[in-house]
Chain A
Amino acid sequence: MTVFYLIPLVILLAHAFWSVDYLTIDKTFTLDNFREIRENDLYRTVFVRTVSIATIVTVIDIMLALPLCYYLAKHVRRHRELLLILVVFPLWSSYLVRAFAWRTILGTNGIMNNFLEWTGIIDQPLSVLLFSKQAMVLTYVQVWLPFMIIPVFTVIDHIPDSYLEAAADLGSGGLTAFWRIVLPLALPGIVAGSLTVFSLTMGDYITPTLIGGPGDQMIGRIIADNFGTAFNWPLGAALIIPVLLLIFSLMWLANRLGGLGETTR
């Protein structure tokens, strides 16, 4: 019981320390940072951009994870463990390396351009592939996909086959059964995965640095810069508050949809 009390308590205490801390770093109470954020359009633009990219990435990951998980859970019977390990395995190869690999693939002298030239589809290298929003979305979709697949697979795997048989007996197979049975039952997994993917994208600063163009600044990058080279900790801390508020409200929503209850019951 002590340990069980202790862990949340430590986390709670630590959180209390942290939030007090960024306010005491300039020792006096001030709202200047928030005023700065409100008045500078740059921050709003970046925030909106980050949210929209995170949303797009989440939606694409859901669309990719659903068919894969359904296939693994309901159609594959042999080598299932192996296929699941294969999903988890990319997480082992450094996220950084994978982001960097996309740079290698998409760059002006990169593999994609060389490949397209080699096949004769284009005769000039395309420079638009890298350093764009699309390139960032592609990278995010790929690096976070396993985080979506794992929870979605877990829930779909728990759907008894008899439900699908019953649906088939009652005349709805295939897509109807998927829409009316699998999807609603998979919702907690989808919600849990979406929360992870969305949140990871919101706070990331690695991919914008490696893959994004000069006009594709993300909020995480600005916060990281404020804690690094720009050395404006209070401003960085103030910038993270809207991010936290957004994620907290999504967590609240997720909790209502049952996404958080799925792992710990």
Chain B
Amino acid sequence: MNSVRSTSPNRWPGRLLGGASALIYAFLYLPIVVVVLYSFSATKLNAWPIQDYTLDWYRELREDREIQEAIWLSFRVGIVSAFLALVLGTAGALGLRQYAKPGKAAIRFLVMLPITLPGIVTGISLLAYFSLMDKPLAYWTTTIGEWTFPWPLIIGHVTFCITLVLGTVSARLARLPFSLGEASADLGATPSQTFRKVTLPLILPAMLSGAILAFTLSFDEIVVSLFLKGRENTLPLLIWGRLRLGISPEINAAATIIIIVSLVGVLSSSLLLRRSGSASSS
């Protein structure tokens, strides 16, 4: 581990790379920092430096029912899509591993499509597909209590979410030797026991990380969603609609809340992953 560092005669390449990397990180985070900072700016103009700080936009947000409903819808769509993708993607990855016929390449290609092709293709394809049925998109919505589940939107999200889960799980499976399963069978385990006691614990971190990535993409998805939305807006859709009406600092505040919530989510889940990951991969 330490060797690359110790064998290099001088340390400037490392420092140079480190500096470049720091700049790239700054570039990645510039828009996010801007959004967060300006959500506290008292003026509507994006002046530099910020003159005055205020929490007014957050107060406005709390009274905005439309935004709150959009946030919950985004959560519902994201969770359902990620869950469906988790089940289907894991099954697909396990199936692909067992299968060694020539058709494998073609199948892999098909599964890759939703994420390799631009989202607009998924969006308009599903839109065209649903329009065949002569019903408005809002028709396919299940309501449980106060919760609504717009299926066209969820199906659209699942298409690219599956690919993510399948990709991460397949990558993990590729590193597991087949001999593990064979050893388990030699010791008298049934295939389902092998799956539960050997395979599943080993791929669980990959499954979870794939699902988290899937939720991530679903939550922030707009390209597919714009075509498939029903009556209700997810948060990105609502923001899109409001941006066209004009810029409001309230949007910055809404975005900041999402950033904070997701930061907590990502950090806690990857801490979880890290623990289970180090336990199984060592």
| Complex contact B32–A68 (CB within 8 A) | no
| CB pairs A–B below 8 angstroms (30 shown) | A3-B91, A3-B92, A67-B24, A70-B17, A75-B4, A81-B274, A88-B266, A91-B213, A94-B236, A96-B240, A97-B35, A101-B30, A104-B38, A111-B46, A164-B3, A164-B4, A169-B7, A195-B116, A202-B118, A203-B117, A205-B120, A240-B121, A240-B124, A244-B117, A247-B116, A247-B117, A264-B93, A264-B167, A264-B171, A265-B170
User: B239 contacts A4, CB within 8 Å?
Assistant: no
Contacting pair A85 B4 (CB below 8 A): no
Q: Contact flags (1/0) for B19-55 with A, using CB distance below 8 Å?
A: 0110011011111101100100000011111000000
Which residues of A are interface residues toward B (Cβ below 8 A)? 1, 3-5, 7-8, 11-12, 14-15, 17-18, 21-22, 25, 64, 67-68, 70-72, 74-75, 77, 81, 85-98, 100-105, 107, 109-111, 114-115, 118, 142, 145-146, 154, 161-162, 164-165, 168-169, 173-174, 195-196, 199-200, 202-206, 210, 220, 223-224, 227-228, 233, 236-237, 240, 243-244, 247, 251, 255, 260, 263-265
Given A75-B4, A97-B255: A220 and B120 interface contact (C-beta under 8 Å):
yes
Instruction: Give chain A residues whose Cβ lies under 8 Å from the Cβ of B159.
Output: 11
Whether B48 lies near A205 (C-beta < 8 A) is: no
Q: Which residues of A contact B114 (CB under 8 A)?
A: 11
Taking residues whose C-beta sits less than 8 angstroms from the other chain, chain B's interface range is 35 or more
> Which applies to chain A's interface (DSSP): helix, strand, loop or mixed?
helix
Q: Which of B38, B94, B220 contacts A91 (CB 8 A)?
A: B220
Q: Which of B8, B46, B98, B115 contacts A109 (CB 8 A)?
A: B46
Closest to A10 in B: B88
Please name 12 further chain A to chain B contacts, defined as beta carbons within 8 Å, in addition to the given A4-B94, A75-B18, sorted by A numbering. A8-B107, A15-B113, A17-B132, A93-B220, A94-B239, A95-B222, A96-B222, A118-B48, A165-B7, A196-B115, A205-B120, A228-B226
Q: A4-B92, A11-B114, A92-B220 are in contact. Are A263 and B171 (CB under 8 A)?
A: yes
